[in-house]
């Protein structure tokens, strides 16, 4: 086996000096800032309109991450906080999907970070006071890089729903938080993945900050029996799309694309 030449390693980390500009973001598809049904947003939403500008080098470029940033077990939430020989309590699942951009290109080698409540709906966080117990073998976070074709995959337990103080009887549907980078800082995105068939989805004031039913549907992962591991775990498929770019410099050949 030959080691990767150092120069190539550097090439991977090195964003193009003048990457192609990002597509404009469709703000009507995203949630508005001011969403009174989600109460916390009321005092945390700008009142003045965003100032629209063309993406500059500051948006078109972004940080690069490599496997050197990660540990070997970071993407396995079943065991990445568990005592040796132990694993998290709950319904074992595999979550996988592809990160693409709006032009349909895979987004390779990009950092995906996830966090979630445990199977009982409790977060390992000093500010979470819900009385469901902490699972001593579950941290609730993981991270990974997409492969050359944009695929990611992690193992975890299905998170539980939990009550919150948005209303007298408000409950969050089971969900996993996702943070994705892309190749330009203007693609930076945080979202949440929900589970197909969860009756709490229709009642969630955070999911319904999205005005468009088609947009809400995009956050619901489907049960994927082809990826389920027999006698081990069910699987859910969740594809992610980041802002696209005009043709890259590399593809922008004189003879045309």
- How far is 124 from 157, CA to CA, in rounded Å? 14
Instruction: Determine which one of 92, 96, 122, 123 is catalytic.
Output: 123
- Choose the binding region for another protein from 74-82, 84-92, 195-203, 228-236 (rule: CB under 8 A): 74-82
- Choose the binding region for another protein from 18-26, 88-96, 147-155, 223-231 (rule: CB under 8 A): 18-26
231: left (phi over 0), alpha (psi -120 to 50) or beta: left
Tell which residue, 174, 177, 178, has the closest CA to residue 204.
174
Which helix (H) or strand (E) is 9 found in, with range? Answer: helix 6-13
Q: Name residues whose C-beta falls within 8 Å of residue 12's C-beta, 6 or more positions apart in sequence.
A: 64, 66, 109
Pick the binder of another protein from 207, 220, 221, 235 (CB under 8 A).
Answer: 207
Residue with smaller CB distance to another protein, 90 or 139: 139
Instruction: Determine which one of 64, 98, 124, 177 is catalytic.
Output: 177
Q: Is 245 in the site for another protein (CB under 8 A)?
A: no
Q: Is 96 a catalytic residue?
A: no
Contact set for another protein, span 147-166 (CB under 8 A): none
- Choose the binding region for another protein from 87-95, 123-131, 147-155, 225-233 (rule: CB under 8 A): 123-131
- How far is 99 from 111, CA to CA, in rounded Å? 10
- How far is 157 from 178, CA to CA, in rounded Å? 15
Contact set for another protein, span 82-121 (CB under 8 A): 100-104, 113-115, 117
Least spacing, CB of residue 3 vs another protein, in Å: 18
Least spacing, CB of residue 120 vs another protein, in Å: 15
Pick the binder of another protein from 90, 170, 218, 248 (CB under 8 A).
Answer: 218
For residues 159 and 176, the answer to whether their CB atoms sit within 8 Å is yes
Tell which residue, 201, 235, 202, 238, has the closest CA to residue 218.
238
Active site residues: 123, 162, 172, 175, 177
């Amino acid at each position: 086996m030959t080691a990767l030449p150092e120069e190539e390693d550097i090439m991977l980390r090195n964003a193009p000096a003048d990457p192609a500009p990002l597509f404009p973001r469709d703000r009507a598809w995203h949630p508005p800032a001011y969403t009174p049904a989600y109460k916390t947003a009321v005092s945390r939403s700008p009142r003045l309109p965003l100032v629209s500008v063309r993406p500059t080098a500051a948006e078109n470029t972004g940080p690069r991450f490599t496997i050197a940033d990660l540990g070997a077990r970071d993407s396995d939430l079943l065991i990445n906080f568990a005592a040796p020989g132990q694993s998290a309590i709950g319904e074992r699942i595999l979550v996988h999907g592809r990160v693409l951009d709006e032009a349909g290109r895979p987004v390779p080698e990009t950092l995906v970070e996830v966090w979630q409540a445990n199977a009982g709906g409790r977060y390992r966080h000093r500010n979470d006071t819900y009385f469901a117990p902490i699972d001593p073998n579950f941290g609730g976070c993981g991270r990974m890089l997409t492969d050359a074709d944009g695929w990611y995959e992690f193992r975890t337990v299905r998170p539980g729903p939990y009550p919150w103080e948005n209303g007298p009887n408000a409950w969050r549907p089971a969900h996993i938080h996702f943070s994705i980078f892309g190749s330009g800082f203007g693609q930076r995105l945080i979202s949440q993945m929900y589970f197909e068939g969860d009756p709490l989805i229709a009642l969630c004031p955070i999911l319904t900050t999205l005005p468009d039913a088609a947009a809400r549907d995009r956050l619901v992962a489907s049960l994927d029996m082809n990826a389920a591991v027999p006698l081990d775990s069910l699987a859910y498929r969740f594809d992610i799309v980041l802002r696209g770019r005009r043709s890259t410099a590399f593809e922008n050949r004189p003879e045309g694309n």
